[in-house]
A = this chain, B = another copy of it.
Amino acid sequence: MEELETVLAEADLPLTADGSPVFHQSRHSIPTFSRCLHAPEGTESLDYDMHESPQTLRFLSEQAAALKMKSCCLRLLGRGGIRWIVVCVAGLGTGLVASAINVSLMGLAELRRLLLSKAIESSAGVVAPYLVFLAFSLACASVAGALVCFVEPLAAGSGIPEIKSFLNGVNVPRVLRPLTLVAKGVGVIFSVAAGLPCGKEGPMIHCGAIMGALASYAFSGPLLRPISIDREQRDLVAAGAAAGVAAAFGAPVGGVLFAIEEGASHMSVDIMLKTFVCSAVSALVVHFFTGGFDGQTWGLFGAEVPLPFGHLPDLAFHIWELPTFAFMGLVGGLAGAFWNALNLRLSRWRMRYIGVRTCRRFLEVLVLTTLIVSLKFFVPVLVTGNLDYVVGTDLQTYYWDGEDEAVDVIFHRDFISPSSLLIAGTVQFVISVVTYGMGVPSGLFVPMLYLGALWGRLFGEGLLMIGMVDSHEHVAKYAVVGAVAALAGTARISISLSVIMLECIDNNSFGAPLFLATMIAKWVGSIFNPGIYDIHLELKHVPLLEPRAQKEMLSMRVQDVMAKDVVSLCPVETVRRVLEVLEDSERLHHGFPVVDEASGRFLGLIQRRMLLHLLRSGRERSIFQERLGPAEEQNTPKPVPNWLSNSELATQATGRFKMSELQSALGPQDLDRCVNLLPYTNQGAYTIPAHARVMRCYALFRSMGLRHLPVVDEQSKLCGMITRKDLILAPAHEKKWFGGQDDDAESSDQESESEDEETDAAS
């Protein structure tokens, strides 16, 4: 607050153009955040702003004219109608993918059960069944592991962090391509079938998001390309992710809320409607297949379709039980934070010694699978003392069958012995910590729900013993609350999780205990560390913008955090200079302010993509002009600009040019010619005054989904640029909980370096 005082003391003095005091000028000497923050290579911000250059507007009007000429159907529907169809297609695709995963899993589980029972029948000892069990698991795990370690490393884990970062405005490369869909979709079948504590739900959400992204290619052609394709893609990815949740749990409402809660902060009513439709279609498709394969009449829906964790419509609770549920939330939060801390340590160790795309990672998968499967096999055998006491009992479900079935049993079985819950809970805690981050596709939802259900049920049994609960019937609710508390404690989702669970058990009147437990688990956990998804994003150095600006940003000014070494262009530039700017690999910018040469006034923002288009097609379209002397310039009337064609512009979505291709397209005589950039420049770009507070800048940047925000002084002279990294690196964002670790030593070095540089900058 002292800082604020200093700022205030001078706040009323008009600012000089450059001589203004610099408070937080630091850490902005490194040009792109991808290197600065060690983000995965190629990580890019997304740009949801509307680029209203005359060229774009012309594109849109030509497009409208072309659409009028088209066949009746396309004209009648328009882009709006096609959007609805595309949304339905994305939902349908997600539902089909999810159903395929479900059906394959059912097949593999049946196969394993068969093999195991044969092995048990044919031999008396424990060894043969164990070997069958292990071999099956290893075979499955090696498929899943190979897909991750040698095909697509991004298929590892749940994929939710990556989707979260995409919705936040950061595109990690390869996350949304079809190969990732294949690796993830196939991989998760085998990782779950291997008997590892992996959920299929997270990967299904990732698959849904990819389906959404693929569906957005419907808009990539010149006829349907909207003013911002990034925005179209973002909305469809959000809808696809929601559809993934809907497919995984049969929970369309929970899916939409999940999309909102996990980053789709751009949610408008219109997008929400589309997201709903997408989710509903996806849930319907999944229910269709679930119902069909489960022996129901095909095509029957509603209350007769089986649910992931079984129906639980009759839960009741008393008002004085609410503190108990709150206590469960508290414990869930503490346990979740502990789980996160353990997993963080393990993930750090993995990053250092195992790597991402290595044989060591594959080996880790095999070794861990062996250990986990052995544990899962022998614990029930050792507990009962005999293999025969395991087969066909609940113990088999807890350890050998799928986790969804185990949750179902824990929710519905009247009597379960506390000791078996205790042992299973301990085992599940250990193996779930170890598995998340391993080189296989692995969701977190069901393993954590199972873990929580075990402990919650144990707690309920305890209450039953001391007489606080009447009968076994009432113990189920503690398992339900425990399940969501454990997941909320690690993943820090609250509302959407509660609603998903309500939809999972087909019950609406049990909301209050779930809300309470998840909210408290989330709060308590957040005291100690961020959610597991955020931890993994931090580990990957993905630069997320939090939904709200930090309080400290009120005391900082934009000029204190902006990048000052901005590469700008003049309204009329030589082709050589444009090429140089694009080739500058040191400072790979994606947007360039266009600035009046004489006065330094900001005129607009031109995108890298547009410059590439200009260079590629400039000669053909006679966009390049001979340079004129100042006298001639006065006399010659301004030429009408030449435009790029719609099909040329539409190529930008599908691929990028290579620099070499560009250079060959340009002749040596072209390099000295000029190009008038103004017709291709977004002249309406938002700007922010240099003396405005960072908080205001943050709100503008995030609400409007910007990628570049030019900073201007009072004469509307360009004086800097705000990008995502500047907001992330604003000092208030120092992640204190992360400090003191080796991994961040580097960044604190940077800090001191840049403090040294402060004097340079001030001079």
Residues of A within 8 A of B (CB): 1, 4-5, 7-9, 11-14, 50, 52, 54, 57-58, 60-61, 64-65, 227, 250-253, 256-257, 260-261, 265, 267-270, 272-273, 276-277, 280, 283-284, 287-288, 297, 299-305, 307, 313-320, 494-495, 499, 502-503, 506-512, 515-516, 519, 547-548, 554-555, 601, 603, 638, 640-641, 676, 678-679, 683-684, 686-689, 691-693, 695-696, 699-700, 703-704, 712, 714-716
User: For A256, A509, A603, A715, which residue has the most chain B Cβ atoms within 10 angstroms?
Assistant: A509
- State A65–B297 Cα separation when bound (angstroms): 69
- State A509–B251 Cα separation when bound (angstroms): 9
The interface residues of chain B lying within 8 Å CB-to-CB of A716 are 712, 714-716
Question: Which residue of the partner chain, among B8, B512, B679, B703, contacts A12 with CB atoms under 8 Å?
Answer: B679
Given A317-B302, A692-B683, A269:B265 Cβ within 8 A: yes
The interface residues of chain B lying within 8 Å CB-to-CB of A692 are 52, 683-684
The interface residues of chain B lying within 8 Å CB-to-CB of A499 are 253
CB distance from A311 to the nearest CB of B (A): 8
The interface residues of chain B lying within 8 Å CB-to-CB of A300 are 316-319
- Can you show 18 pairs from A to B with CB atoms below 8 A apart? A1-B64, A12-B54, A14-B678, A50-B693, A50-B695, A52-B695, A57-B693, A227-B554, A280-B511, A300-B317, A301-B316, A301-B319, A301-B512, A303-B507, A303-B509, A684-B689, A699-B704, A714-B716
Closest partner residue, chain B, to A266 (CB atom): B703
The interface residues of chain B lying within 8 Å CB-to-CB of A252 are 511, 515
Question: Which residue of the partner chain, among B508, B679, B684, contacts A691 with CB atoms under 8 Å?
Answer: B684
Question: Which residue of the partner chain, among B270, B508, B515, B700, contacts A508 with CB atoms under 8 Å?
Answer: B508
Given A601-B715, A683-B691, A58:B510 Cβ within 8 A: no
Question: Which residue of the partner chain, among B12, B57, B261, B508, contacts A269 with CB atoms under 8 Å?
Answer: B261
Instruction: Tell me if A302 and B283 are in contact (CB < 8 A).
Output: no
Instruction: Tell me if B683 and A272 are in contact (CB < 8 A).
Output: no
Instruction: Tell me if B689 and A283 are in contact (CB < 8 A).
Output: no
Instruction: Tell me if B4 and A554 are in contact (CB < 8 A).
Output: no
The interface residues of chain B lying within 8 Å CB-to-CB of A684 are 688-689, 691-693, 696
Knowing that A251-B508, A260-B269 touch, tell me 14 more A-B residue pairs with CB under 8 angstroms: A252-B511, A273-B519, A280-B511, A280-B515, A284-B512, A297-B318, A299-B318, A301-B512, A302-B509, A502-B508, A601-B715, A684-B693, A714-B716, A715-B716
Given A268-B265, A515-B276, A52:B508 Cβ within 8 A: no
- State A403–B704 Cα separation when bound (angstroms): 46
Interchain residue pairs A-B with the least CB separation, the first 4: A684-B692, A302-B316, A11-B54, A299-B319
The interface residues of chain B lying within 8 Å CB-to-CB of A256 are 495
The interface residues of chain B lying within 8 Å CB-to-CB of A555 are 57
Instruction: Tell me if B8 and A61 are in contact (CB < 8 A).
Output: yes
